Structure 1
Amino acid sequence: MELTFLGTASAIPTRSRNHTSIVIKVSNRMLLFDCGEATQKQMMYAQISPMKIDDIYITHLHGDHILGLPGIIQSLAFRGRTRPLNIYGPEGIDELLEHIKKLGFSSINYEIITHTVTGDESTIYKQEDFVVKARKMQHTVIDYAYMIEEIRQPKFLKSKALELNIPPGPLFGQLQAGQEINLDGVIIKPEQVLGPPRKGVKMVFSGDTVPQESMVEFARDVDLLIHEATFSKKYADKALENGHSIAEDAALIAKNANVEQLILTHISNRYTNSDELLEEAKAVFENTVYAHDFMTVIIENKKAVRIINKE
């Protein structure tokens, strides 16, 4: 799993921080989480083609998380996209996309499929090797956090299969895929030749939210938690009033959830230097960094989070 931060600012961008957006490569898909203003330009700087985007996940419908959508949608049409684009988001995402389609008198010749996220927690996308889950958070509007969880198939125990006189070949593949087989009238089940379940890597992106206990459970034991930290603790009242978290809140959640790595993002424009936020967070949870635009994170195996392209 590879993540690139395209924008790490909160409501007002700065010279060094764009509005919120993260692109994530997982398995055979490229996912975009939030799409703040100028996201497509950030993708150019990061040398990531918007044409490769498969799915866009929107945490909530505030402008700093969605105003890049019209530009990307129209640019994909200009570039001749033909395959569908999936966009997931809270209630109102359908209406938003209908308005976007009418902007700029552009012709959109590819299918845009919207998926409304509802409920407190749900699995909203699943394929053989990963799932995307959503968890409702608490902000000034409906807001969702998202989790990507890799699914690792149990190890195929070749020695067990040979003991059962299963010939190497297609039958091995069927069992490894979870299908039982009939071998000369004997039914052999996958669990007879598969090892124990293996945990895949997991990451969670908080969206905008006040600190809440449900995030601790949602992010339990994940490899990477990306949590908003709009303010420092001197502005704790302002953070709560506006539906946000302070850096210390994010750190407490990371500590209580036993996450491996915490990355702070959604930084207020009042901070030209984020060291104050980092110091507050690290006092609670040592394995913390703050995100900056174009920072790349690679999660290779359990408890192996690599952060590259740092300032």
Structure 2
Amino acid sequence: MKMWFLGTGAGRPSKYRNVTAVALKLPEPDCNWWLFDAGEATQHQIMHTPLKLNKLEAVFITHLHGDHIYGLPGLLSSRSFDGGVTPVQLYGPVGIKPFIETIFNVSATRLDYELVIHELTGDEGIIFEDDCFQVEVATLEHRVVSFGYRITERDQPGKLLVHKLKELGVEAGPLYGQVKQGHAITSPTGVVIQPQDVTGPAHIGRVITILGDTKPCGNALHLAMGADLLVHEATFGAGMEEKAHEFGHCTTAEAAQTAAQAGSRQLVMTHFSGRYSNEDLGALEAEAAAHFPNVIAARDLLNVEVKRRG
């Protein structure tokens, strides 16, 4: 899985960075992708990546402040022009549905695909499940209702050890599929073969946590527990906690402290105030590294690979 930081700024675009949006490309074979927030001009940023709008599968909105949603109507509309015909699932706080419907009605926008809108209260817990992923939501502490999302990839069976199967007299065929799915099989000579005997180590599912705007809070810590990658806002530098909390935000030090307390493996900070230039990001990164060493201060179009454990 790979993640693109399409915009890393807070409040409004600056000459250093666009406003918030993060794209997560899912593993093969589907290679679809999910979008988390869609600040103004998100679709322009997508043009600088390999991502295609017709492969967009789901959108998750953290909260309804403009720097997180003003790019959404245009992006959804452009998807029709980009050959998108499969359904898109849209998740977000109560109010996201009338926001989209009003703009589409006023502008006479018609989509060539089904847009399924799910309005969330934050009390739902798990909001999405399929054979590969589970998504959990929880409410954070901001000036408006703001969510964090925890994406958990399901464990996958290890590689089939074909040479061992052949040694046991099992040739290619339906039995290979059964053992790959975790079922015991019986060889032609009557030997019962357990899946763990003929498969390599299982692929442990990855966990990604993407938090919306928030002050330090218990749900941020809960969602980040054991995450392979934690995406955390860091609107202000260390020492500006009072100002950060006044506006419902965190500092670099607080983002790092959450990552450390949660046992996360990697932290990427984003949503930086316009007061910081790109030349300042190294200093912001150093502030966080004093509390959590494996940290990156994101720049627009940063691409991060989410690696498997082990």
Pick the TM interval, shorter chain.
0.7 to 0.9
Alignment of 1:1-311 (within 5 A): 1-27=1-27, 28=30, 29-120=32-123, 122-155=125-158, 169-178=173-182, 198-272=203-277, 273-302=280-309
TM-score scaled to structure 2, two decimals?
A: 0.86
What secondary structure sits across from 1:54 in the alignment? strand
Mapped contact 1:70–1:103 kept (Cα < 8 A): no
TM-score scaled to structure 1, two decimals?
A: 0.85
Mapped contact 1:150–1:200 kept (Cα < 8 A): yes
C-alpha separation in 2, matches of 1:181 and 1:240: 59
Give the gaps of 5 or more residues in structure 1: 304-311
Mapped contact 2:149–2:211 kept (Cα < 8 A): yes
Mapped contact 1:121–1:136 kept (Cα < 8 A): no
How big is each residue's C-alpha offset from its partner over 1:27-78, in whole Å with a ceiling of 9 and x where there is no partner? 2221111100000011112343222211111111111000001111222233
How big is each residue's C-alpha offset from its partner over 1:7-41, in whole Å with a ceiling of 9 and x where there is no partner? 00011221121010011111222111110000001
| Cα distance change on mapping 1:121 and 1:220 into 2, 3 Å | farther
Decide which moves more: 23-32 or 34-43.
23-32
What secondary structure sits across from 2:34 in the alignment? strand
The Cα shift of 1:170 comes to 1.3
Mapped contact 2:149–2:223 kept (Cα < 8 A): no
How big is each residue's C-alpha offset from its partner over 1:180-199, in whole Å with a ceiling of 9 and x where there is no partner? 77999999987897788652
Mapped contact 2:2–2:306 kept (Cα < 8 A): yes
The Cα shift of 1:271 comes to 1.1
The Cα shift of 1:116 comes to 2.4
C-alpha separation in 2, matches of 1:135 and 1:121: 8
Aligned-residue CA RMSD (Å): 2.8
AA aligned opposite 1:88: Y
Percent sequence identity over matched residues?
39
Decide which moves more: 87-96 or 196-205.
196-205
| Cα distance change on mapping 1:198 and 1:118 into 2, 3 Å | farther
AA aligned opposite 2:150: M
| Cα distance change on mapping 1:194 and 1:47 into 2, 3 Å | closer
Mapped contact 2:53–2:84 kept (Cα < 8 A): no
C-alpha separation in 2, matches of 1:50 and 1:187: 48
How big is each residue's C-alpha offset from its partner over 1:197-244, in whole Å with a ceiling of 9 and x where there is no partner? 652222111111111133223212221111000012332112112111
What secondary structure sits across from 1:135 in the alignment? strand
C-alpha separation in 2, matches of 1:67 and 1:11: 11
C-alpha separation in 2, matches of 1:187 and 1:118: 50
| Cα distance change on mapping 1:159 and 1:275 into 2, 3 Å | closer
Runs of 4+ in 1 over 4 A off after TM superposition: 156-168, 178-198
| Cα distance change on mapping 1:51 and 1:171 into 2, 3 Å | same
| Cα distance change on mapping 1:194 and 1:137 into 2, 3 Å | farther
Mapped contact 1:5–1:23 kept (Cα < 8 A): yes
C-alpha separation in 2, matches of 1:121 and 1:193: 40
